[in-house]
Structure 1
Amino acid sequence: MNSDWQQFLQSRGAFIENGQVVHFGEPAEDIRRSGSEPILADLSHFALIRFTGEDAQTFLQGQLSNDVRLLNGRNSQWAAYCTPKGRMLATFLLWKDDADGYLMQLPTSLREPVQKRLSMFVLRARVKISDASDEWVRLGVAGPGAAQIVEAQFESVPGAAHELLATTAGSVLRLAGECFELLCAPEQAPKLWTALAAHCRPVGSSRWDWHLIRAGIPVVLPQTQEEFVPQMANFELVGGVNFKKGCYPGQEIVARTQYLGKLKRRMYLAHLDSEQAPMPGDPLYSADMQEQASGMVVNAAPAPEGGYDLLAVIQTSSAASEPIHWKSLDGPVLHLLKLPYPISA
């Protein structure tokens, strides 16, 4: 997090730990009101990797699950970086930054290892990979009326998911529904934050994460690396996989999963009534699988009505017929909710 920006947020009451805004003094109230009011969140818990050079597009095209050639500076896309076995090492947002540059936004905890791994495959390609996290301040605005609030500051607002609008005040990206990401230079950020805070409730990073969870968008974290092929986490359903683009690590297995055989696991949205927080990577159990785990928590965040909302990859047969329990067969039961998009095995 940019040091000047951190000082500004702290002057506005932010409690910051490990470069991440935890809350603004009323965490319980933030949780309770985040489902019914527009929220404003600093997104420094995500990092940026910049790719520049004549071969940047070709390099990324050969590494990622989506078709980088479709990025034109006015849009973004979800994409994944997979192992040769098709298991996701990271999920991220990708967009074109300038004539030959691209920005990849992913959890801060994964920035260094993913950047290092990708750098190993540059070889003789004319590509430069660098950490661009402090070059931009990124803000999240979400919830009821978010579009009108954003439009008041930028004079226009993207109408469709993944549309990117660049203005003199910064860039606006619509992720899904009423979730917007705003990018601006650090020196412009205090003025923009102040204007937005007049209409939104400043909150910690978990409130933004909750909106992504409710939108059914998975975020791979260190605890869940190499656990899922993209389809297990519904990643093709949110536009994160292009099946016509050609080769990339794991492409053969991802394609085989799509066109051959039956997918045995899918990601579900669920609610858990618990005072203890579920964590990414926590195992899930059902009676039909006995002592073998039938699923895993992907992401979780406190829910406005109490307890936690979460995304979980679960055996489809278990989800259809059995109660799903958290951490043990006698643990709390997950209550499955409806995702904003249809899923099928």
Structure 2
Amino acid sequence: MNNEWIQFLQAHPEPVDPASSSAAGWAPLDTRTSLLVSGEEAGEFLQAMLTQEILLLDGTHAARGALCNAKGRISTTVLIHPLRPQGREQGSEQSMTYRLTVPSELAADLLKTLKLYVLRRRVVINGNDDWQNIGVLNPDPAFLADLGIAASASDPLAQSTLPSGVIVTWEHMGDDARLSLQGPTSVLLTLAPHLPQRTSNSAWQCAEINDGIPTITQETALHFVPQWLNLDQLNAVSFKKGCYPGQEVVARLHYLGKSNRRMIKGSTRLTDPVTPRSVIYPANSPETEAGEIVRSAICRVGNENMQVFLAVIRLNHLHDELLIEGQPCTLQPGPFLETAEQRH
């Protein structure tokens, strides 16, 4: 990691207590890495690799997607930033470039996999150690005006590029606005005087969990299919595009079958971290797997700290009394829970 960035973080230590995701603040998104995909055939290459309809992206919005293996299991989730070269007009032949925001722990494997598929395509894929990410929760109008950021908080995944080259993306799906800033270390550091106070790293994670945003880790890589993580609900899967790795399996589940598992938000009073793939059991059948944790964080809920999680739950266990590591957990109301109640 860049020494300047390390010194900056040391000068702005993380608060000890978790903060509410509705409070204003910024946090380093140090679990993220950015890959740059460029070249004349960059769009066509990513169109053939990811679950998203890449060639329809025009640079005004980012998009969620995933890379799957041939069996339809997700290698990694990805946030795709289509970037129109400066001066390029819509409809011109100049190639668009793409930044892929991916989990840092999976970036090396993703880079290796993508390069294996490049073959003779005119595509270049690079990582960048001098590229950082910051998340800003509930930015106020003065902050947006200082940086010249358009107030697109009501337009999920709206994206713009500042004159400095910093990419701004409105990432929230719910009511609490949040945006990410990414760019070269030296440029992001110039924005420091405009940032609100530092908040806990978990505040951003809690906001993502509240929005139902999954992430893949080393523990969960090649374990889930897109529908289990609700990627179809997040517009991260196109069922109209051509082939990509795992497309046949994903499309079959969509058109011919029905997913018997879905990702659902829940909470528990466990204080120790609940790691990805931790198993959830029915209280009356401790040897039966009811679900698995996707991600979790300690979040401020009302006046207490709770461990809030996203978990892939087998739908036939939605109304069971559930346990994680022997402790009760509660699933939060949502569309899948409500649908199951109607059938019950």
TM range (shorter): 0.7 to 0.9
**How high is the sequence identity, in percent, across the aligned residues?**
31
Q: Show structure 1 runs of 4+ deviating over 6 A.
A: 340-343
Distance 1:339 1:196 in 2: 34
Please give the root-mean-square deviation of Cα atoms over the aligned residues, in Å: 2.1
Query: Which letter does structure 2 place at the counterpart of 1:154?
Result: L
For the structure 1 residues 183 and 268, does the alpha-carbon distance in structure 2 shift closer, same or farther, using more than 3 Å as the test? same
Distance 2:140 2:240 in 1: 33
Q: How does 1:154-303 map to 2 (within 5 A)?
A: 154-155=147-148, 156-159=150-153, 160-169=155-164, 170-176=166-172, 177=174, 178-197=177-196, 201-287=197-283, 290-303=286-299
Number of residues paired by the alignment? 321
Q: Secondary structure at the match of 1:235?
A: coil
Name 2:321's counterpart in structure 1: 323
Query: Which letter does structure 1 place at the counterpart of 2:333?
Result: K
For the structure 1 residues 116 and 344, does the alpha-carbon distance in structure 2 shift closer, same or farther, using more than 3 Å as the test? farther
Q: Secondary structure at the match of 2:63?
A: strand
For the structure 1 residues 59 and 36, does the alpha-carbon distance in structure 2 shift closer, same or farther, using more than 3 Å as the test? closer
2:327 is the counterpart of 1:332: yes
1:245-303, Cα deviation, whole Å (9 max, x unpaired): 11101111111111212211000000111121111111111157651312100000001
Q: Secondary structure at the match of 2:60?
A: coil
Distance 1:341 1:207 in 2: 25
For the structure 1 residues 85 and 193, does the alpha-carbon distance in structure 2 shift closer, same or farther, using more than 3 Å as the test? same
1:217-238, Cα deviation, whole Å (9 max, x unpaired): 0001111112211010111111
Q: Secondary structure at the match of 1:274?
A: coil
Larger mean CA deviation between 300-309 and 153-162 belongs to 153-162
- What are structure 1's unaligned runs of at least 5 residues? 15-23
Distance 2:339 2:3 in 1: 46
| Contact 1:157-1:172 within 8 A present in 2 as well | no
Name 2:137's counterpart in structure 1: 142
2:122 is the counterpart of 1:122: no
Please, what TM-score do these two structures have when normalized by structure 1? 0.87
Distance 1:288 1:318 in 2: 11
| Contact 2:22-2:137 within 8 A present in 1 as well | no
Name 1:37's counterpart in structure 2: 23
Distance 2:323 2:142 in 1: 40
Q: Secondary structure at the match of 2:195?
A: helix
- What are structure 2's unaligned runs of at least 5 residues? 86-94
Distance 1:223 1:154 in 2: 38
For the structure 1 residues 252 and 150, does the alpha-carbon distance in structure 2 shift closer, same or farther, using more than 3 Å as the test? farther
Name 1:79's counterpart in structure 2: 65
Query: Which letter does structure 1 place at the counterpart of 2:8?
Result: F
